[in-house]
Amino acid sequence: MNELIDLLGSLSNHPQCLMESPAGIPEILQEHILPEDVQLFYRLCGGLTLVEGEYDLARIVSPHEVIQSNSMFFYGFTPEELDRTRDEPSWSWYIIGHGDSGEYISIDFEPSRLGFCYYSFWDSHAEEGKSPVIATSFLELLNQMWASRGKSFNQGEPEFKSFGDFYELL
């Protein structure tokens, strides 16, 4: 966890990074697990905006904004439509970050995929073949976001390796 502490120290000294004061730990469902690096991040910081003021900024959300991704992307579904999706493995995904172009980062709190991060967008969220894994841990995600200086976290950016599609992991 020293690597995370060092990274946050570097970010806090950068003039185009905005670190928010700690504001608690995200509340998640009992069957999910909050990874240690996510817990430490929120003990030290209440959210983070990388390269604030640039066209492509990226933000790690505050702890109260860490919500189940499906509840946001499936907004407007009827209760019956939502019930039909309850077996989807993406119900363990939570919003952990977003860009300024409607892009989101979902993080998996399911024990077998703990900390895996996925690119989520309104028209392709949790869709087979359109759900790239962009990091295998929260710390790796932060490192990649810092390396790209807040540019898009889509897997097309050179700083973001491709780890395949979420549905290939199942």
Look at residue 103 and tell me whether its pLDDT is greater than 80.
Answer: yes
Alpha-carbon distances, residue 166 vs 17, 21, 26 (angstroms): 30, 33, 23
Look at residue 147 and tell me whether its pLDDT is greater than 90.
Answer: no
Average pLDDT score over the chain: 86
Alpha-carbon gap, residue 143 to 60, rounded angstroms: 12
| CA 109 to chain centroid | 11
> Averaged over 140-149, what is the pLDDT?
85
- For the chain, what is the domain count? 1
Alpha-carbon gap, residue 136 to 124, rounded angstroms: 20
Prediction pTM value: 0.90
Tokens of 9: 């120290």
pLDDT confidence band for 88 (50 / 70 / 90): confident
Task: Report pLDDT digits (tens) over 8-52.
Answer: 999 988 888 889 999 999 999 999 999 999 999 999 999 998 875
Gap between the terminal Cα atoms of the chain: 28
Q: Which residue, among 88, 79, 160, 94, has the nearest Cα to 128 in the 3D structure? A: 88
Parent domain of 31: 2-169
pLDDT confidence band for 108 (50 / 70 / 90): very high
